[in-house]
Structure 1
Amino acid sequence: MKKLGLCCLVIFSIISCKSPEARRPISVKGGSYIEESVARNIKLYENEKAHFQDIMDANPDQKYEVSQNGFWYTYNTKIESDSLPKPVFGDIVHFDYDVKNINGDVLYTYAETKPDTYIMDKQDLFTGLREGLKLMKAGETATFLFPSTKAYGYYGDQNKISTNTPLICKVTIHSIIEN
């Protein structure tokens, strides 16, 4: 009888020892939030693109080009010489710029942005302007039309540029010091 009790005790202890099971969620949510966000951003981009098209149509004397990075630009002053370099990683660029919203209201003047010195791709600068500088040579002036995704995006600059604001920037590069 002792052996039977001991045997039952061993069997029960083996049966009762099993690995813990993961708890399953009560409800499963789909990717609807992400899908809604994508749809909202596509609609926002299309609206900004339509506004930029209106600006380009209103200035037929300017030849606007679309960049590979998703913004538009035109040269106000273009240097045709191939001997002048465009800035690359690590080069020091001296430039100034102003910032306007899509309605042409000035958000930051040249004086407020001051002549700026920027080390290419090593310092913080919003995406569109960083990529726009790479298209220019020293002595050139260009006007850029940046959709909000290439400007300050969802957060703005926490000062004068609010959320999802497309920007128009007129940029002049004064010099490029090669690294």
Structure 2
Amino acid sequence: MKHLICILILAALISCEGPSPRHPVKRNTTSSIQVSIERSKKLLALEEAMIQQVIAKDSLNTYVNSDTGSWYYYNKKNQSANYMAQPDDLVTLTYNILTLTNDTIYSMQDVGILKYKVDKQEFFPGLRNSVKLLKENETATFLFPSSLGYGYPGDGDKIGINMPLKSTIAIVKIEKENDTL
């Protein structure tokens, strides 16, 4: 009986070890990230080819490639102005959104005239970048790959998944940030 009690006490002491930590399960996610990167590169190359086809068919306009990845031409250029919108400036503008085949998604009347605090309000990336390329009283037409438009989710309404866009942007007025203080 004495041996049985000793064995039970010894078993109880051994079983009272602290909890052993669980080790994390290692998952190799680099392969799925790499697949996503490759898919994005292929999509961008396809969209850029579509944009180049639009540019090649348009012999009336001279397109400029912006540093941010869009292409544009001026509909109306203001030779007398030299100031372009800077962060925190208040810009009055209007724009439309079309497909690359010129089907209207949102007209300028749908959008209306907007006031935009540069880099402080949410617009799609192409519009945010394009506003800083134009001067007061200038209008330009931009071609955006979907990554500069509404990307994978679209806008939840009329703009679909991964849709490259065409947009004419008109800058009505630029109020410098230090002028509004």
TM-score normalised by length of structure 1? 0.85
Partner of 1:126: 124
| Partner Cα separation in structure 2 for residue 121 and residue 28 of structure 1 | 38
| Partner Cα separation in structure 2 for residue 132 and residue 174 of structure 1 | 14
2:121 pairs with 1:117: no
CA offsets 1:149-169 (integer angstroms, 9 cap, x no match) = 000001111110011111000
Partner of 1:105: 103
Helix, strand or coil: the match of 2:93? strand
By how many angstroms is 1:61 displaced? 2.9
| Partner Cα separation in structure 1 for residue 147 and residue 76 of structure 2 | 26
Partner of 2:90: 92
| Partner Cα separation in structure 2 for residue 121 and residue 23 of structure 1 | 44
Structure 1 letter corresponding to 2:56: D
Partner of 1:23: 23
Partner of 1:160: 158
Helix, strand or coil: the match of 1:149? helix
| Partner Cα separation in structure 2 for residue 75 and residue 46 of structure 1 | 25
Partner of 2:37: 38
Over the aligned positions, Cα root-mean-square deviation in angstroms equals: 2.7
Helix, strand or coil: the match of 1:152? coil
2:60 pairs with 1:61: yes
By how many angstroms is 1:28 displaced? 4.1
| Partner Cα separation in structure 2 for residue 175 and residue 157 of structure 1 | 27
Structure 1 letter corresponding to 2:71: W
Partner of 1:74: 73
Structure 2 letter corresponding to 1:170: T
By how many angstroms is 1:111 displaced? 0.4
By how many angstroms is 1:42 displaced? 1.0
Aligned length: 177
Structure 1 letter corresponding to 2:91: V
Percent identity between the two aligned chains = 33
By how many angstroms is 1:130 displaced? 0.4
